[in-house]
Amino acid sequence: MKGGGKKIWFHSTRFSIISTIASKELIDFVRDWRTLLAVILVPLLLFPLIFIALPLFLQGEADELQQAELTVQIQTQNGQQPPEALLNEITDSDMSFVIINLEIPDAVNLSTPSAATDNLRDAAESGEYHCILRLRETNSNASESWDYAIISDSTQELSKEAKQRTLHAVLAWEQIVINNTLEESNLTRQEALDPIHWDGDQTISDIASAGERAAFGFSMIVPLVVALWTATSAIQPSIDMTAGERERGTLEALLTTPVLRVDLLFGKWMAVAIIAMISVLLQITGLLLAIEFLASGFLTMPEVSIVGWLLFIASVLLFAIFTVAIELAVAIRAKSVKEAGSTLAPMILLFLGPTLFSQFVNLEGIELWWFIMPIFNVCLGMREALIGVHDPVHIAAWALSSLLYALAAVIWASRQFNREDLVESIS
Amino acid sequence: MNGDLLVTHQLCKRFGEIQALSDVNISFKKGEVVGLVGGNGAGKTTLLRLLSGLYSPTSGRVELFLDDGTTAPVENIRQKLGVVPESTGLYHRFSAWENIRYHSRLHGIDDGRAWIRTERFAKALDFKSNLHRPTRGFSKGMRQKTAIIRALVHGPEVLLLDEPTAGLDVTSARMVRSLVRQLGDEAGTVIYSTHHLAEAERVCDRIVIIHNGTLRASGSPQELMSDTTTDSLEDAYVALTFDVARTDPPPDDRGIISRWWSNVFTGNSRLKQPSIKSAKDSDLNKDDSTLKVESGRLYSNIHSQNSKNIQSTTPPSLQNTPSIGGEEE
C-alpha cells in the first residue's frame, strides 16, 4: 500500500515536472509576438484570405482588363470584305477594328506568323491594335464558310484579352452562320444539334445533398492543408526549444537539474504538439468561418457528422504526435538554429509527397495496406472521416499504425535527448 | 569517508581520439572551497561536467556521500548539486526571478520558499532590484549573478561554478568571490574552475591543478609552493605544468558528407594540423608588423629570418607558460 502510494506520488511529480516544462515553453513562445503571429494569426486568416481577398483581387484585375479599349486588325485576302455579321459581333464585344487586305497564298496556313504579323508586339504596345484576325473564304455547302486564325502575343495581357474577345465574336458569328445554314435546309437548331437531350434539372438528379457534396470537396483539400500545416507549424517551435536552447546555452543549465531527459522531451513535445494543434484548429475554424460568412454565395457548408469530426481530430492528433516527435529528434541533433532549419525545411518534402498523392487515391475498394503506410494512413483517415465513411477496419488500421509510428518516433526522439553532446553548443 | 562529500575514482573521459581526462582521483570535503586551475583545454570543464553528471565517464566513477554514509552515483542525485555553467544559460524573454523560479520548480521547490531564498542571495549580491527585470540586456555580471542565485536556490550541498568571474568587472567579480567565500565559511562545498591563480589563491582553501587532462597537484597554496620549492604560486604552477600544453583539435563529430563538403572549400582535412611551416619563407620575412593570410590560414607575425627554426625563436620560458587570464576554454 505504501509502495503504491509512493508510485502515484512519483508519477504525479513527473507529470508536474512535464507540465512545468510545457508551461514554460508555451509562455516563452507566446511572449515572442513574431512566432505567435506566424503560428496563430496566419492560419486563422489563411482561408478567409484565399476565399475573399484572392477572388476580389482576381475580379478587380478582370474588371480592369474589361475596361481596356482594344482593337483587332482584320486581315482579308484578294479584296474580300469581312462579313457584316462578324463586324457587328466584334463591335458588340467592345472592340474596334481596322481592316487591311493582303495577298496570302492559299497554300500558306493562316496561323503561321509572317511579315504581315511581325510588328504585332510594337502595335500592341503603341495601342494601334492588339491582335490580328486572319480570314479566308472557302467553298462548302454551308451558307458561307471561312477559315480563320487569331494571331496574338500570350505574354501580353492586353493581347490575350483581345484574342479572347475576338474569339468570342467569331464563335457568336459562327452560330449565326450555323442557324442560317439550318434554316436553308428547313431544320431547327434543336433537331440538328441536340437530338438526344437531358430532361429536367441536372443538379437535382444527384442524390448527394449539397452539404455532402461540399464535404466531398472538403475532403480533397483539407487533409492536404492540415497535414502540411501540422508539419510546418511545428518546425519553428521544435527548433527553438531544442537547437535554439543548445545555441543559447540554456540547455546545459537545464540538464543539470534532476529532470529526467525523457521528461524534458515529453514537456517540450507537449508544448509543440499544443501549438501545432491550436494552429491547425484555428486554420479549420478560419476555413469554416470563411465558408459560412464570406463565401456563402458560392460555397456550401460541408455536412460532417460528430463522429466524422471526432475521427478527423483524432487523426490530426496522432499525426501531430508523430510529426512533432520526429521534428524534435532531428532538431535536437543540430548544434545551431541554422543547422536545424536547413535539415528540417527539406524534410517537409517527405510530408508533401504522401499528403499530395493521398488526395488522388480512390477510396472505393481501396486496399487495406494504404491505411498502414505512414502519412498516407492519416491523410486517408481524414478523407474517410470527412466524407462519412466510418469503416471500423480502416479506422483500426490507421489509428493503430499511427500510434505505432508515433511510439517509434518518440523512442527515437528520447534516444536523441539522451545524447551526451547535448551540452555542447557552437557558442 | 573522512568528511569526503564528492569523490572520483580513476576517472577517465575520452572523446573519440581525444583523451580529455586520465585517471583523475580526487575528493572534495564538506565545507571546502576548491579551485580547479588549468590552461585552455586542460580538462577543467570536462571534469566539472563529469562531477555534475552531465557527462558519463568513459571509465571510473563519481560518487557523492549521502547523509547515512552510503554513496550514490552523482547523476542520480543532482538535487544535491548546484551548477553554474560557463554560458549561464538564461532565458532572455523571462525575468531573472522567472528564470530562478523555473529551475527551482524543476528541483521540486515551492515558489514561496524559492522566493525567500532568492531574496536572501540577491541581497548578498546587491541584485534585488533586478529580480523582476527581463534578462535580455543584462550585463555579463548580472547574468552571472542570476545564474548563481538559480544554482543556490534549491539548497545544494555542492556548488559547481565554471569560470564564474570570467568577463566580470572588478566590483562584480569581487562580489562573486565574496559570496563564494561566504558559502565556504557557512560549511558549503564549492568547486570552481578558473584561469586566475591569484583569484584561486584568495578564495580557495585548496587548489587543484589540471594540465593536459591529468591531475598535477592538489593542496593549499602554501603546500603547492613548498612541494615545488618555489616562492610564488605562479612559479609553482609553471613547475607543475612543465610539459607543453596539448593542441589537440576538438573531436570532429560532423558527418561524412559535412566533412567532405567542408574539405572541398578549405582544401584540407580538419584533422590535419595547421602548420606554421606551411607559410612561405618570403611571407614570414617580408613584413614584421602585420598578420598574414594565405590559403585560408592566419599566420601571426614572427620575427624570424628562418622559418625552419621558428620553434626555437620562441623564448623557452614562454613555451611552458599556461594561458592564465587568457581566452576562455
Is there a contact between A20 and B105 if contact means CB atoms under 8 Å apart? yes
pLDDT digits over A352-405, tens only?
889 889 888 888 888 999 999 999 999 999 999 988 888 999 999 999 999 999
Q: In the structure, what pLDDT confidence band is assigned to residue B271 with cuts at 50, 70 and 90? A: very low
Q: What pLDDT does A368 receive?
A: 92
What's the grid cell of residue B103?
Answer: 529551475
Average pLDDT of the residues in B292-318: 34
- The residue type found at A10 is F
DSSP B12-61: EEEETTEEEEEEEEEEEETT-EEEEE--TTSSHHHHHHHHTTSS--SEEE
AA letter at B30: K
* Closest listed residue to residue A268, CA positions, set A296, A239, A300: A239
- Whether the CB-CB separation of A382 and A219 falls below 8 Å is answered with yes
Residue A408 confidence (pLDDT) above 90: yes
Candidate from A200-209, A413-422, B86-95 with smallest mean pLDDT: A200-209
10 Å Cβ neighbour count for A408?
14
Q: Which of A317-326, B148-157, B319-328 has the lowest mean pLDDT?
A: B319-328
Predicted confidence (pLDDT) per residue in A131-143, tens digit: 999 998 888 777 7
Tell me the average pLDDT across A115-122.
78
Q: Verify whether the Cβ–Cβ distance A21 to B106 is below 8 Å.
A: yes
Q: What is the pLDDT of residue B25?
A: 93
- Tell me how far apart the alpha carbons of residues A124 and A153 are, in angstroms, rounded to a whole number: 9
Question: Least CA distance to A422: which residue of chain B?
Answer: B54
Q: How many CB atoms lie within 10 A of CB B294?
A: 11
The pLDDT value given to residue B329: 31
Classify residue B77 as exposed, middle or buried by CB count within 10 Å of its CB (0-12, 13-18, 19+).
middle
| Chain A residue at shortest CA distance from B56 | A420
pLDDT of B212 higher than 80: yes
Query: What was the pLDDT predicted at A111?
Result: 87
Decide if pLDDT at A321 tops 50: yes
Better-scored residue on pLDDT, A201 or B220 = B220
Read off the pLDDT of each residue in B258-283 and give the average, rounded to a whole number: 57
Helix (H) or strand (E) holding B100: helix B96-106
Tell me if A426 sits within 8 A of A335, measured CB to CB: yes
Which residue in the set A17, A249, A256 is minimally distant from B78, CB to CB? Answer: A256
Alpha-carbon gap, residue A183 to A191, rounded angstroms:
11
Scanning A290-422, the segments in alpha helix (DSSP H) are 306-333, 337-357, 376-387, 392-417
Mind telling me how many Å the CA of B257 is from chain A's nearest CA?
13
| Chain A closest-CA separation from residue B88 CA (Å) | 7
8 A C-beta contact, residue B203 and residue B180: yes
Q: For residue A427, list chain B residues with Cβ-Cβ distance below 8 A.
A: 87
Whether the per-residue pLDDT at B286 is higher than 50: the answer is no
pLDDT at A202 over 90: no
Please report the beta strands in A109-166, taking only residues with DSSP state E, as ranges in sequence order: 131-138, 145-151
SS3 call for B301 = coil
The pLDDT of A325-346, averaged and rounded, is 90
Contacts of B87 in chain A (CB under 8 A): 248-250, 252-253, 425, 427
| Phi, psi for B123 (deg, rounded to 5) | -65, -45
Closest residue of chain A to B162, computed from CA coordinates: A253
Which residues in chain B have Cβ-Cβ distances shorter than 8 Å to A258? 77-79, 106-108
- List the single range of A116-120, A263-267, B97-101, B292-296 with lowest mean pLDDT: B292-296
Assign B191 to helix, strand or coil.
strand
Whole-angstrom distance, CA of residue B144 vs CA of residue B271: 35
pLDDT at res. B1: 52
Which stretch of A24-33, A150-159, A180-189, B93-102 has the lowest confidence by average pLDDT?
A: A180-189
Whether A78 has a pLDDT exceeding 50, the answer reads yes
The pLDDT value given to residue B249: 61
- The shortest CB-CB distance from A249 to any of B54, B79, B89 is to B89
Give the tens place of pLDDT for each residue, A27-63: 998 888 887 787 778 878 877 777 777 777 888 888 8
Chain A, nearest residue to B55 by Cα: A420
pLDDT score recorded for residue B287: 41
Say yes or no for a CB contact (<8 Å) between A259 and B147: no
Contacts of B162 in chain A (CB under 8 A): none
B69-107 pLDDT per residue, tens: 787 777 777 888 899 998 888 999 999 999 999 999 999
Secondary-structure breakdown of chain B: helix, strand, coil percentages, each rounded to the nearest 5: 40, 20, 40
Which of these ranges, A123-137, A180-194, A351-365, B125-139, has the smallest mean pLDDT?
A180-194
- The size of chain B, in residues, is 329
Average pLDDT over residues B173-189: 84
Cα angle A391-A394-A395, degrees, rounded to a multiple of 5: 85
Given a cut of 70, is residue B326 above it in pLDDT? no
Collapsed DSSP state (helix, strand, coil) of residue B274? coil
Number of other CB atoms surrounding residue A99 within 10 Å: 15
Helix (H, G, I), strand (E, B) or coil at A147: strand
Residue range B255-264: average pLDDT? 77
- B144, B175 Cβ separation under 8 angstroms: no
Residues on A contacting B at a C-beta cutoff of 8 Å:
13, 17, 20-21, 24, 27-28, 31-32, 248-259, 420-421, 423, 425, 427
H/E element, A121: helix A120-126
B→A contacts (Cβ < 8 Å), by residue, are 49, 52-56, 77-79, 81, 83, 85-94, 102-103, 105-108, 147, 150, 253
CB contact under 8 A, A257 and B106: yes
Tens of pLDDT along B43-66?
999 999 999 888 999 999 998 888
The string of DSSP letters for A163-199 reads HHHHHHHHHHHHHHHHHHHHHHTT--HHHHH-SS---
Cβ atoms of residues B101 and B108 within 8 Å: no
Closest-CA distance, B249 to chain A, in angstroms, reads: 15
- Using a CB-CB distance cutoff of 8 angstroms, which residues of chain A are in contact with residue B45? none
What is the nearest CA distance from A348 to chain B, expressed in angstroms?
A: 21
Quote the CA–CA distance of A359 and B308 in Å, as a whole number.
Answer: 71
What pLDDT sits at residue B246? 67
User: At residue A190, what are phi and psi to the nearest 5 degrees?
Assistant: -65, -40
Query: Using an 8 Å Cβ cutoff, are B38 and B69 in contact?
Result: no
Quote the pLDDT of residue B297.
Answer: 35
Q: In what order do the strands lie in the sheet with A145-151?
A: A95-102, A70-77, A131-138, A145-151
Residues near A260 by beta carbon (within 8 Å), at least 6 away in sequence: A14
- Count CB-CB contacts under 10 A for residue A351: 20
Mean residue pLDDT across chain B: 77
The chain B residue lying nearest A14, using CA atoms, is B106
Which site among A25, A241, A252, A338 would you substitute to test the B interface, given the most B Cβ atoms closer than 10 Å to its Cβ?
A252
Instruction: Please judge whether B88 and A427 are an interchain contact, meaning their C-beta atoms are less than 8 angstroms apart.
Output: no
Residue B298 or residue A214, greater confidence: A214
A256–B85 CB contact, under 8 Å: yes
Residues B60/B11, Cβ–Cβ less than 8 Å = yes
Which of A256, A417, A423 to mutate: most B Cβ within 10 Å?
A256
Determine, for residues A252 and B87 on separate chains, whether the beta-carbon distance falls below 8 Å.
yes
Task: Answer yes or no: do B105 and A255 touch at CB < 8 A.
Answer: no
* Across B98-102, B127-131, B304-308, least confident range: B304-308
Is residue A125 scored above 80 in pLDDT? yes
Question: In the structure, what pLDDT confidence band is assigned to residue A183 with cuts at 50, 70 and 90?
Answer: confident
Cell of B2: 573522512
Distance CA A139, CA A147 (A): 10
- Nearest Cα to A312, choosing from A369, A230, A405, A211? A230
Please tell me the distance in Å from A21's CA to the nearest CA on chain B.
Answer: 8
User: What pLDDT sits at residue A168?
Assistant: 95
pLDDT at A161: 92
Q: Are B42 and B212 in contact (CB under 8 A)?
A: yes
The ranges assigned to domains in chain A are 69-191, 210-424
Interface test with A, best of B105, B146, B149, B152 (most A CBs within 10 A): B105
Contact assessment for residue B162 and residue B46, using Cβ atoms and an 8 Å cutoff: no
- The residue-averaged pLDDT of B114-138 equals 91
Task: Please answer yes or no on whether B89 and A252 come within 8 Å at the CB atom.
Answer: yes
- Closest C-alpha to A241, from A349, A367, A340: A340
The CATH classification of domain A69-191, taken from the options 2.60.40, 3.40.190, 3.40.50, 3.10.20: 3.40.190
B91–A28 CB contact, under 8 Å: yes
Chain A residues in contact with B329 (beta carbon < 8 A): none
More confident residue, B289 or A216: A216
Most confident of A18-32, A68-82, A113-127, B240-254: A18-32
pLDDT given at position A54: 77
Interchain CB distance below 8 Å, A420 and B55: yes
Q: What is the predicted pLDDT for the residue at A360?
A: 86
Query: Closest approach of chain B CAs to the CA of A260, in angstroms?
Result: 10
> In this complex, do A256 and B81 lie within 8 Å of one another by their Cβ atoms?
yes
A114: pLDDT strictly greater than 90: no
* A418 pLDDT higher than 80: yes
Confidence (pLDDT) at B327:
33
The pLDDT of residue B328 is above 70: no
By CA distance, what is A241's nearest residue in B? B91
Q: Are strands A145-151 and B4-15 parallel, antiparallel or unpaired?
A: unpaired
Kindly report the average pLDDT of chain A as a whole number.
86
- Rounded to two decimals, the ipTM of the complex is 0.75
- Residue A228 banded pLDDT, cuts 50, 70, 90: confident
